[in-house]
A and B are shown apart, each in its own frame.
Chain A
Amino acid sequence: MEKLEIVGKINQFLVEEFEVEPGKIVPESNLRETLELDSLDYIDLVVVIESNFGFKVKPEDFLSIATFQDFYDYVERQVGEKVSV
């Protein structure tokens, strides 16, 4: 899966699941603040990632994710690892 395709898919489910305006999704913006995520929203985020990309998310993975760009990079890495296995 190409990076652009991954970013498009992520942005699409963020808009649908978290009702965020597409214009607010900027790579350098803070993910948690922009989406106004609480602890239960993170559960939803894990669920949509797993169902859309087919890999298992470890909750501690989110410790290193601050911005949307971090999030895109994380998903791209995981998708790459899944393909190479």
Chain B
Amino acid sequence: MLIPKCDITLYIPQRPPMVMVDELVRAEADLAVTRFTILRDNLFLVSNRLGEPGLVENIAQTIAAMVGYNCFLKNIPVPIGYIAAVKDLKIASLPAEGSVIETTVMITNQVMDVTVVKGKVEQAGNVICSCEMKVVAKA
């Protein structure tokens, strides 16, 4: 693990109760993996399952963690990022309260200020959510 739960907010702009990633497990220049345990008090819990917005937010925060960590390594300011678009969103199932999800994001393209990222959320080895996200970053 690169960043434990107690330190994750040093690398992402979100604060409780909006934090949807616990640990940064792996980070490279264009790839990152996070882990997240879905607790009972999660804002996006609906009928004891993490709702669709929670999964999308989890992917977005994994991107934020990747960018934040890489900026930390380079000792440069973290740019502010905005979700510009979510495309090809596929959700196979909603993870239950108490379960652990692992999320992988990979930068596939960079066009001007827009970064195109593929994201997937896995639970127990099965992909339960995937999408392409366009993120606009402003320094």
A interface residues with partner B (beta carbon < 8 Å): 40, 43-44, 46-47, 50, 57, 59
Contact (A50, B109) CB under 8 Å given A40-B134, A43-B116, A43-B134: yes
Chain B interface bracket (under 10, 10 to 19, 20 to 34, 35 or more)? 10 to 19
B84 at interface by CB-CB < 8 Å: yes
* Distance in Å: Cβ of A78 to nearest Cβ of chain B: 16
* 17 sampled A-B residue pairs with Cβ under 8 A: A40-B84, A40-B114, A40-B134, A43-B109, A43-B111, A43-B116, A43-B134, A44-B87, A46-B109, A46-B111, A47-B109, A47-B111, A47-B116, A50-B109, A57-B111, A59-B111, A59-B112
B99-139 toward A: CB 8 Å interface, digit per residue (1/0)? 00000000011011010100000000000000000100000
Instruction: Please indicate the chain B residues that have their CB under 8 angstroms from the CB of A50 in the complex.
Output: 109
* Distance in Å: Cβ of A36 to nearest Cβ of chain B: 15
Instruction: Please indicate the chain A residues that have their CB under 8 angstroms from the CB of B108 in the complex.
Output: 47
Instruction: Please indicate the chain B residues that have their CB under 8 angstroms from the CB of A46 in the complex.
Output: 109, 111
* Distance in Å: Cβ of B134 to nearest Cβ of chain A: 6
* Cα A47 to Cα B87 with chains together (Å): 14
